[in-house]
Chains A and B, each alone.
Chain A
Amino acid sequence: MLEIRNLHTSVSGREILRGIDLNVRAGEIHAIMGPNGSGKSTLAHVLSGRESYEVTAGEVIYEGKNLLQMTPEERARDGIFLAFQYPVEIPGLSTTYFLKAALNAIRKHRGLEELDAMDFLVLVKEKMKVVEMEQELLNRSINEGFSGGEKKRNEIFQMAVLDPKLAILDETDSGLDIDALRIVANGVNTLQSAARAMIVITHYQRLLNYIVPDHVHVLYEGRIVKSGAKELAEELEAKGYDWIKEEVEAARGAGA
């Protein structure tokens, strides 16, 4: 479904991603872990088409297409969804209105009929259950005055409504208490399917107690320095990231 080859990106002239290779197939869950500042969010934004990140080398193939040439909205309409680490607050625009516009843009692109207000409401009511979302939040301006947990739930709720093929969850677990974490993780698990792939970015292992990944990758200084099965996450939890850092330094020393 997604093939990233030797991806390099810079922000304001500074190289952040320095050669990422990653293969994601339908039905798989990939966890990407790594210390703060290693480039996890950068990768997520580049995959979603944020223009402020410059791709200096490499390519990304998504369902046979050159992803990097597509606008953010084209990617979304083709099934890519990013759950933001820091969801944006938009005063004056309600989640329901915004989400209906988004869903209909996607449906139109897929050759489906646009949903009217009634059908949309029915869908919303059903998807609200996925993350125990309250109606009142949906009528409010997007994320305005939401708690951290409400914002993250809103992201997963939007994912449930938009039904993406590839979901990238950027630290959806950060800043959540254990109850909120359980709700969010449950929601994500409900949405798991053989047709859908997920890239779950997290700083901590605890989310992976609920969402079981097929592959775990460690991102450090803009490179994937280690990949493994779900046990790698447990190892990281036990040993911390210093262990990875030391390995990288040692490898660098040996290479020199």
Chain B
Amino acid sequence: MSQALAEQDQYLSDFERFEERGAAPAWVQSIRREAISRFAALGFPSTKDEEWKYTNVAPILRIPFKPAAAESNGLTTVEALERTISISLPPERLVFIDGRYSKELSSRRRLPERVRVSSLAAALANDLEALQPHLARYADFKTHAFVALNTAFLEDGAFVYIPRGAIIEEPIFMLFISLGGGKAEVSYPRNLIVADRDSQVTLVEAYVGLENGVYFTNGVTEIVAGENAFVDHYKLVREGEAGFHVATQQAHLERNSNFRSHLITLGGSLVRNDVNAVLAGEGVECTLNGLFLAAAQQHVDSHTRIDHVKPHGMSRELYKGILDGKARGVFSGKIYVHKSAPKTDAKQTNKNLLLSKDASIDTKPQLEIYNNDVKCTHGSTIGQLSQDALFYLRARGIGLEEARGLLTYAFASEIIRGIKVASIREQLDQLVITRLGDKFRGKERLL
């Protein structure tokens, strides 16, 4: 029996134990069962699979991850948590430890009536009516093995429901902490965000590893933007040094909705993000921006797909990668314009900066267009720091290392400046600066 199959078996037997334990509405149980059988049929992907050509998941399969056990931890106060992760937490937040909701660390504000912000576990226990029409309806567990695995084990995560016309000004923060204490556990955060028609909401999903032990986060986030809804979504991945992160974000965008997505990847040993958006109604505006920084032996794969299904859709995509050390980056971006989507206006750009000769990037922009009446462009670049710019800075007295840092930051800042919410922009800016090196620590923002 091959290693991959043995590893798959282990997840299958984990599922049996999970099923015995977990009570859930019958319709949820049947989704889980369907998902596990899809997973059994699919198996883990290999690099022979076109969608996994540049990302070998063997390092994940080599470790016999066990489902994360609920346990207490040293993080008793929010202040301690904030200090540990250098992220300040807003009052409206859901905090999860190793995939499980933490009531103590979470906090809620008085939100307008009928707005729901809770753990998915609580929503499932009450079988809330907004769940069934949406849960597991968008993220494709039929062909994507990791989505199937997450769906089979779906139990906890964030559930956000914004009713028709509700405008939520303050960002809703979802923090997923992995303790990384070295017990080799897997967690399956599962998030569902539904913004009903005419509503508006800003969301931040952050995945943060605390220690350097090995663990695996296998996440799925489904986002629904109803007609004319405005959804601004941020995802930060800062897993620990030995943390694996494989996640899919699936957005379903209805008529005239506006969806903005920012994916900032700063840490993790192997990170694969699938960011998919389906422009399912006319006149949708969709922005997918991303920034990934990787150094040492890190592997970061940003995999995006935009489906233009209806006319007059607009999509703008900008992903930037910065790779140092022996890091490997992957950008794969597919724009799929269906026959039913005339007057589509799509633009995709991927720019990469290689800071060392051992770092590498595979970039694969793809347009598939089945309608002639569209405006689509794409392009990708791979470059080094400009010698002219470096000399310009040094000729003004700035040292070589600082000059390199400033130019690297300048490259990244295009994404940061695109963040509209000031509090989020400033915080992510600081995290990027910190990640770019100790030289900037303690100094003010560069912008």
Most chain A beta-carbon neighbours within 10 Å: one of B389, B396, B411: B396
Chain B 394-420 interface residues, beta-carbon cutoff 8 Å to A: 394-400, 402-403, 406-407, 409-414, 417
Q: How far is the CB of A111 from chain B (nearest CB, A)?
A: 14
Q: Which residue in chain B gives the minimum CB-CB distance to A103? A: B397
Contact A88 B392 (CB under 8 A): yes
Q: Which residue in chain B gives the minimum CB-CB distance to A72? A: B394
The answer to whether A12 has its CB under 8 Å from any CB of chain B is no
Most chain B beta-carbon neighbours within 10 Å: one of A50, A94, A101, A105: A101
| Of B387, B394, B412, B417, the contact of A71 (CB 8 Å cutoff) | B394
Chain A window 18-45, contacts with chain B (Cβ cutoff 8 Å), 1 for yes, 0 for no = 0000000000000000000000000000
| Of B387, B394, B397, the contact of A109 (CB 8 Å cutoff) | B397
Assembled-state Cα–Cα distance A103/B392 (Å): 14
Assembled-state Cα–Cα distance A94/B225 (Å): 36
Contact A93 B446 (CB under 8 A): yes
Chain A 49-84 interface residues, beta-carbon cutoff 8 Å to B: 49-52, 71-73, 75-77, 81-82, 84
Contact A90 B392 (CB under 8 A): yes
Assembled-state Cα–Cα distance A146/B388 (Å): 17
Most chain A beta-carbon neighbours within 10 Å: one of B397, B402, B447: B397
Contact B397 A48 (CB under 8 A): no
The answer to whether A106 has its CB under 8 Å from any CB of chain B is yes
Chain B window 288-324, contacts with chain A (Cβ cutoff 8 Å), 1 for yes, 0 for no = 0000000000000000000000000000000000000
Contact A76 B395 (CB under 8 A): yes
The answer to whether B393 has its CB under 8 Å from any CB of chain A is yes
Assembled-state Cα–Cα distance A88/B389 (Å): 6
Q: How far is the CB of B398 from chain A (nearest CB, A)?
A: 5
Assembled-state Cα–Cα distance A141/B387 (Å): 18
Assembled-state Cα–Cα distance A229/B409 (Å): 48
Check A92/B394 contact, CB under 8 A, given A52-B387, A71-B400, A97-B446. no
Contact B395 A93 (CB under 8 A): no
Report the interface size for chain A: residues with CB under 8 A from the other chain. 35
Chain B window 375-387, contacts with chain A (Cβ cutoff 8 Å), 1 for yes, 0 for no = 0000000000011
Most chain B beta-carbon neighbours within 10 Å: one of A48, A93, A106: A93
| Of A81, A97, A162, the contact of B447 (CB 8 Å cutoff) | A97
Q: How far is the CB of B347 from chain A (nearest CB, A)?
A: 18
Chain A 86-107 interface residues, beta-carbon cutoff 8 Å to B: 87-88, 90-94, 97-99, 101-103, 105-106
Contact A77 B410 (CB under 8 A): no
Q: Which residues of B contact A49 (CB under 8 A)?
A: 394-395
Most chain B beta-carbon neighbours within 10 Å: one of A51, A73, A103: A73
Q: How far is the CB of A89 from chain B (nearest CB, A)?
A: 8
Assembled-state Cα–Cα distance A135/B389 (Å): 22
Contact B396 A102 (CB under 8 A): yes
Contact A87 B392 (CB under 8 A): yes
Contact A162 B396 (CB under 8 A): yes
Assembled-state Cα–Cα distance A162/B395 (Å): 11
Contact A84 B397 (CB under 8 A): no
Assembled-state Cα–Cα distance A73/B407 (Å): 16
Contact A72 B395 (CB under 8 A): yes
Assembled-state Cα–Cα distance A76/B402 (Å): 15
Chain B 338-397 interface residues, beta-carbon cutoff 8 Å to A: 386-389, 391-397
New contact pairs (5) apart from A51-B391, A141-B410, CB-CB < 8 Å: A48-B395, A76-B394, A102-B393, A102-B396, A106-B397
22 contacts between A and B (CB under 8 A): A50-B391, A72-B391, A73-B395, A73-B400, A76-B395, A76-B396, A82-B395, A88-B388, A88-B389, A90-B407, A91-B410, A91-B414, A92-B417, A93-B406, A93-B410, A93-B413, A98-B396, A98-B406, A102-B396, A103-B397, A105-B398, A141-B410
